[in-house]
Each structure stands twice: as C-alpha cells, then as structure tokens.
Amino acid sequence: MRHTLTVLVLALLAGLIQLFTAPSAGACPHTVVIGVDGTGSVGHTPSLVTQHADPWIAEGAEFRRIDYPGSIWPIGPYPYDQSRRAGIDATKAEINAVRRECPDAHIHLVGHSQGAAVIGDALEERTAAGESNTNISADLYADPRHPDTGIEVVLPGLLPGYSMKNERGSMGEAKVYQQCVQGDPVCDFPQPLQDPLGLIDAPAGYWYKHGYHLPDSPEPRSGTHVIPAGPMTPFIPPVEQRQIPFAPDLRDVIDYQVPALPDVPPLPNLTEPYVERPLSVYVPDHVEPYVPAPILDHVPPPLPQLPPLPVIELPQLPALPPLPALPAL
C-alpha cells in the first residue's frame, strides 16, 4: 500500500512539473521577427529595422534583435569581415533557438545594409550546410550583395578585412525580398568604367537614399524591387543617359580578392567616445611574451580636443552698377 501511494505521489509530482515547465503551444507566437541593423545602428531605437518590424509586431509577432558589432572600421572598432562574421553566427544561433523553442512559428528576418548582408549570408550558409529554411522569410533593404548592382558584386576585394563576396548563392526555401533605392551605392553601385559620373553622385546618393525605403506589410514576399530615383548631384544626367557603351565590368579587369585577415581586437574608434583600453589588446598573442608588462598595461590617454576652427567672414561684395537701358526697338 505504501509503495502504491509513493508511486502515485511521484506520478502526480511529475505531472505538475511537466505542466509548469513544458512550453505550451499558446506560449509561442505565430511569427518571430529577427532584426539585424546596419552599420552604426545596432541597438538604436528607432532604426530602419525596428520601423519595418513594427507592422509585424502590431499583428502579434515577437521581435528579437541581433546584438553584433555592426562595424566598419574606422566607423566602429572592427573591420567589416569580422563584424559580419559575428552577425552571421549570432543570426544562425537565433534561428536555431527559435526552432527549438517554437518549432511551428514562422521566422521573418529584417535587415538593412550590413544587416541585410548578415541575414542573406546566414541563410546562404544554412542552405550550404543542408539545413532547411522552410517557413522562413526575409526582407533585405540596401543589401551590399543585391543582384547585379550591389557594391560587393561590382567591386573586387582590394582592402584587407573588406571582402567583396560577389553575388549570393542559394538561400534555399526561404522567401527573400530585396529592396534597393536607385543610386544608393551600397546596393546600386555604379560600374566605375561604364558610369564614372555615377561615382561622383554616389556620396550624395548614400547620404539621401540609403536610409529611405518603402514601408512594408506583415506578410512574406519574394523577389527584388528597385525604387526609381534620379541623381542627387546637379547637372548629372540619369543613369540611362550617361553609360559608356562597350566599357567592361571592373571585375572583368581586376579579378582579385585580398586574403582574409585574422580576427583582431577592437581597433581605435575614430568616430565614437574614448574607451579606456590597455595596449595589450592591440598586441598579437605571439608578440606579448617579448613586450614588457608596463608597456602592455599602459592605457593611452584620449586624444586632445581640437579647438574649433576660426570663423572667417568674407567682406561683402560691392554692388554691381545697373545695366544700361536698352534702346527701344
């Protein structure tokens, strides 16, 4: 009798533990939105990514945000390749976490600029590894690997730490939508040999167009969409009127990729507030044993604040004499 009672009590306790610890179907949202911000925007609210996630959140989706460097040195402490690699790994880990926690939930990814590259590359790597991207959708805004025109497609890799991967391979079953504003050099970089005037317009295009994208609706979609937009620089004609016929693609002339850099510690950041770091974080591991400890422990002081530039006031130009009256005809 005592044995039977013990078994019943243990069974009851096991049932209660399962009741309170096992995730129920109702605890999972129908959609989990994973946002990956672009360079310099990670953690900022609002951002283009949070704004495009809002329609999904309004429909009951759960929003998760990827924390990664989002850096392109010197606009941040890490080279592009290292930052992107960290973002890809974090995005794949988050997708796997959602699959474990809520296997039936739809996963929607939203990325802008470097964040778009991170998402697209994460889906590409999952596909190459034989992992399924079923029930996954993605909106990629200003993707550097936008088909045909992305900066990573047009330019060869010439700077260490800034690989240009060319067009992206298969992203498997995922429904992927890519949007680019015409003239944004991140996703619509002008061919240097075919469109040299486009290079002149590129900085203004980045400044005015890179952060502009049409609002979306909370539903999966696929394909590419280019928002028509004229040049921002005065006197530069539209792109279809300035192409140099028969000029080759730059990649056909320079087919070269620099070797990848090893991971490096945070580099001095030229655009953000001073952060105290000892010199040891910048010294390679194989060199440290030969450097005296006081040097390794030294923390460089912040750079001095430069005084403001003097204001130069030009003298007012003299008034021009009035034009003579024309004789009557």
Spatial separation of the C-alpha atoms in residues 115 and 87, rounded to whole Å: 8
**Phi, psi at 72, each rounded to 5°:** -135, 105
Token readout for 196 is 């040299």
By residue count, the chain amounts to: 329
At CA 40, angle to CA 167 and CA 108, rounded to 5? Answer: 55
The pLDDT assigned to 314 comes to 56
N-terminal to C-terminal alpha carbon distance within the chain = 128
Q: Which token pair is 136?
A: 């996954």
For residue 211, how many other CB atoms are within 10 A of its CB? 17
Euclidean distance between CA atoms 223 and 176, whole angstroms: 6
Distance CA 241, CA 230 (A): 11
pLDDT tens digits, one per residue of 202-254: 999 999 999 888 777 889 999 999 999 999 888 888 888 888 888 877 777 67
pLDDT band at 124 (very low <50, low <70, confident <90, very high): very high
What is residue 48's DSSP assignment? Answer: H
Give per-residue pLDDT as tens, 273-288: 666 777 676 666 666 7
pLDDT at 291 over 80: no
CA distance 197 to 204: 12
pLDDT at 180 over 80: yes
Write down the number of H helices and E strands in the chain: 8, 6
Residue 283: exposure state from Cβ atoms within 10 A (0-12, 13-18, ≥19): middle
Cβ atoms < 10 Å from Cβ of 262: 8
- Residue 325, burial from CB neighbour count under 10 angstroms (0-12, 13-18, 19+): exposed
Q: Which residue has the higher pLDDT, 130 or 6?
A: 130
Distances (CA, A) of 322 to 319, 325, 326: 9, 9, 12
What is the CB neighbour count within 10 angstroms for residue 99? Answer: 17
Instruction: State the pLDDT at residue 177.
Output: 96
Chain-wide mean pLDDT for the chain?
A: 82
Q: What is the pLDDT of residue 287?
A: 65
Cα(63)–Cα(54) distance, rounded to whole angstroms?
Answer: 9
Query: Distance between CA 114 and CA 75 in Å, rounded?
Result: 13
| DSSP assigned state of 235 | T
Q: Tell me: pLDDT of 8 over 50.
A: no
> Whose CA is closest to 283, among 259, 266, 270, 303?
266
**Considering just the CA atoms, what is the radius of gyration of the chain in Å?**
27
Which span out of 18-32, 79-93, 297-311 was modeled with the highest average pLDDT? 79-93
pLDDT tens profile 46-91: 899 999 999 999 999 999 999 999 988 877 788 899 999 999 999 9
Quickly tell me which residue has 């001073």 as its tokens.
274
CATH, domain range 31-272: 3.40.50.1820
